Amino acid sequence: MKSGTANEELIAAILNGAFETPLWSTFLTQLRATTNADFCTLIFSAPGRPLGEAVHLFAGEESIENVDFVYHKYHASLDFLGDLEMQEGRVYGFDELYPPKPQYSAFYNEIVVAAGITECLMAKVVEPSGIGAWLCVSRRTGTFTPRDEMLMKQIVPLLRGALRGYVALEQQRFTATITGDAMRRLHFAWMTLDGQGRIIDHDIEAGRVLTLSNVLAKGVNGMLAIRPNPLKSDILAGIRDISQNPQARARAFTLNRDPWLDMLLLPMTANRLSANPKATVIAYIHGDSWHATDRCEQLSQLFGLSRSEAKLALAVSRGMTIAQAAESLGIKIETARKCSKIIYAKTGAGGMPDLVRIVMRSVLALAHKD
């Protein structure tokens, strides 16, 4: 590779580095070879955080583990990079960086002097969110050329763009992790389907439902298998209708009552480049890993309800009317209505919709039974 020029191979390594493990390993290896450096490091850190918490990437003769150990040993001393008033995009040489301030002498002696580093080039990169990165190539003998310095300058805007993409990706991953954990705790799952009811994709929780549920399963050729048959007919009809008419109304189905499992079918109106084009319907699944007896006991503990009151509150919170709940529990409608007033008083609910909201948003929604 010709020194002084960021050719296609090096550019590709910069752009693809965010998807490697370790990060940017190919880029650092190629940059080290291009500049004939003994070591190549990339350190980046969030604004306001000590550099001891930074991500440190390395390519060189020594093992990454040993270098990381020494860096973390002197994590406080790493902050000398932050103390340097480096101009972004400018390439700094050894004499401008070392020796550092007296408080960083231990780090300097064990890292720089012990490694025999006599020459280096370092550039600072800052992406839009404020995360700073320091790219450095260093040598034990010989000097870097003006072409090496020019290469480092060319790399800065490329690395800034790649780092910006990496930060955005990490933010999305963090958001997805938190959202996924909340969905898991609330017992929500999703799967996408084609117009015939074939499963195109699903999340982990939906996979659990398909494996463990007595109602839903993944059948032959990936078809959504549903039991019992009358329910299957209704759901497949809803899938076909929504698939053929994106403006069709959403369809909701109660799949099982104990433990609870329901489904909401919606059109795939938010397709993205990453979505499978065969998917035309998204199914949201909401379940409960607890049986009704367990939930009633928890409701009793949380709101001070009697056993019969807890049964009625749970039935109503799961979508039943007072009349349906009374029939299901084998009591008179008037008895259920009187009981509901007691439940409203104990839970602070202003009526049935409020009761549903209180029960469904209580800490019970976060309880797991794996």
* 19 Cβ neighbours under 8 A, 6+ residues apart: none
Closest CA to 123 of 152, 94, 162, 85: 152
> Which helix H or strand E contains 346, and what residues bound it?
helix 333-347
Model pTM score: 0.61
Distances in Å between the Cα of 232 and the Cα atoms of 236, 246, 310 are 6, 21, 31
* 2 Cβ neighbours under 8 A, 6+ residues apart: 34
Q: For the purposes of burial, counting CB atoms within 10 Å of the CB of 165, is it exposed (0-12), middle (13-18) or buried (19 or more)?
A: middle
Q: pLDDT band for position 76 (50/70/90)?
A: very low
Q: Report whether pLDDT(239) > 50.
A: yes
Q: Beta strand pairing status for 132-139 and 39-45?
A: antiparallel
> Does 259 sit behind a cis peptide bond, omega within 30 degrees of 0 on the bond before it?
yes
The better pLDDT of the pair 348, 72 is held by 348
Q: What is the largest CA-CA distance in the chain?
A: 94
The better pLDDT of the pair 246, 165 is held by 165
> Does 22 sit behind a cis peptide bond, omega within 30 degrees of 0 on the bond before it?
yes
> Does 353 sit behind a cis peptide bond, omega within 30 degrees of 0 on the bond before it?
no
Q: Are 170 and 196 contacting, i.e. CB atoms less than 8 angstroms apart?
A: no
Please tell me the least confidently modeled range out of 41-45, 50-54, 207-211, 218-222.
Answer: 50-54
Separation CA 313–CA 343 (nearest Å): 7
Q: Are 45 and 131 contacting, i.e. CB atoms less than 8 angstroms apart?
A: yes
Q: pLDDT band for position 241 (50/70/90)?
A: very high
Separation CA 335–CA 329 (nearest Å): 11
Distances in Å between the Cα of 130 and the Cα atoms of 45, 66, 83, 170, 205 are 9, 29, 16, 14, 36
Please tell me the least confidently modeled range out of 204-208, 239-243, 256-260, 297-301.
Answer: 256-260
Two structure tokens written together for 352: 């049935």
Q: Are 290 and 368 contacting, i.e. CB atoms less than 8 angstroms apart?
A: no
* Number of Cβ atoms within 10 Å of the Cβ of 25: 17
pLDDT at 2: 46
Q: pLDDT band for position 151 (50/70/90)?
A: very high
Q: Are 156 and 89 contacting, i.e. CB atoms less than 8 angstroms apart?
A: yes
Dihedral sign for Cα 329, 333, 334, 337, please: positive
Q: Report whether pLDDT(71) > 80.
A: no
Separation CA 178–CA 171 (nearest Å): 11
Q: Report whether pLDDT(301) > 80.
A: yes
Residue ranges of domains in the chain, CATH in brackets = 8-177 (3.30.450.80), 189-287 (3.30.450.20), 292-366 (1.10.10.10)
Separation CA 137–CA 33 (nearest Å): 10
